[in-house]
Amino acid sequence: MSPARSMLILTLFFLDVRVRADNKSEVDCWGKEIPCAIQAFGRKRELKAGDDLTLVLADGALVQQRDRMTVQLIDGRFYVEVKKPIVFNTPYATLTCVNECKALIDRKEKEISVKALEGEWNLRRLGDRRSYTLAAGFHLTVGEVETNGLAYMEFPQSLVWASTILEWSKMYPKSVELFKSDATRFRSNWKEAVESAAAVHEKVAARAVASHEEGLAQERARRKAVEKEEAGLRELFRKKNGIDP
């Protein structure tokens, strides 16, 4: 071995030792302890539980695994891929996957917003016994409990294509090729969601118009009745006072 080569190997050895010492990873409880809280610092972070759950935390996001089947989403933005009925819990609603699901979830202090990308999600808001189905391509926001004892829930809306794809691409943990195939699948889901949302909105608008027209008809009938009563009273007044009409 030439002296120059030995010197290079020696230098690389020292360099390697120093880099390893600086990047010493922190102790991680995910998959080892329960409960386990994890926060992403400085960059996004991917957590896995076998093939059944992939959870990507954006920078600053905080999550806690409370038991084997319950994950508490505490703060920040998440990307979830799940194949079994794991419960995603928040103070405002719980979210479970019916079949294989993907979603982007944004947890803020006073609300949680869910963007369903694939599969069918089951959502139950706090205070409500019913649960609601959120299909892929839809977006739903649930907020604090209101005076009626139920958590505030918006009407589901179809997702906005461009911003959703951009957000998803930033959080996506796998290769570009896989993202392309997932996005293609999402495109058809999204189209269906837009069409069905449009149909639902049309129905709601038609119902609102019908109810408004019904209200107007009732008002007209009420006025007519009042006028009739007043005319009767005037007639009576004239008769009693002997006034000619």
Which positions lie near another protein, rule CB under 8 A?
3, 6-7, 10-11, 14, 26, 37, 39, 41, 62, 64, 72, 74-75, 91-92, 109, 126-127, 143-152
Nearer to another protein, 108 or 234 (CB): 108
DSSP state of 57: E
Nearer to another protein, 2 or 175 (CB): 2
DSSP state of 94: E
Least distance between another protein and beta carbon 155 (Å): 17
Least distance between another protein and beta carbon 55 (Å): 17
For residue 19 the two structure tokens come to 């880099």
Please state, in angstroms and rounded to a whole number, the distance separating the CA atoms of residues 203 and 207.
6
Place of tokens 């009273």: 233
Task: Please choose, from the candidates 33, 78, 72, 67, the residue with its C-alpha nearest in 3D space to the C-alpha of residue 172.
Answer: 78
Least distance between another protein and beta carbon 233 (Å): 32
Whether residue 138 contacts residue 116, with contact meaning beta carbons closer than 8 Å, is answered with: yes
Least distance between another protein and beta carbon 185 (Å): 34
For residue 182 the two structure tokens come to 């997932």
Nearer to another protein, 127 or 232 (CB): 127
Nearer to another protein, 39 or 122 (CB): 39
Nearer to another protein, 14 or 23 (CB): 14
φ, ψ (nearest 5 deg) of residue 202: -60, -45
Least distance between another protein and beta carbon 24 (Å): 10
Whether residue 96 contacts residue 84, with contact meaning beta carbons closer than 8 Å, is answered with: no
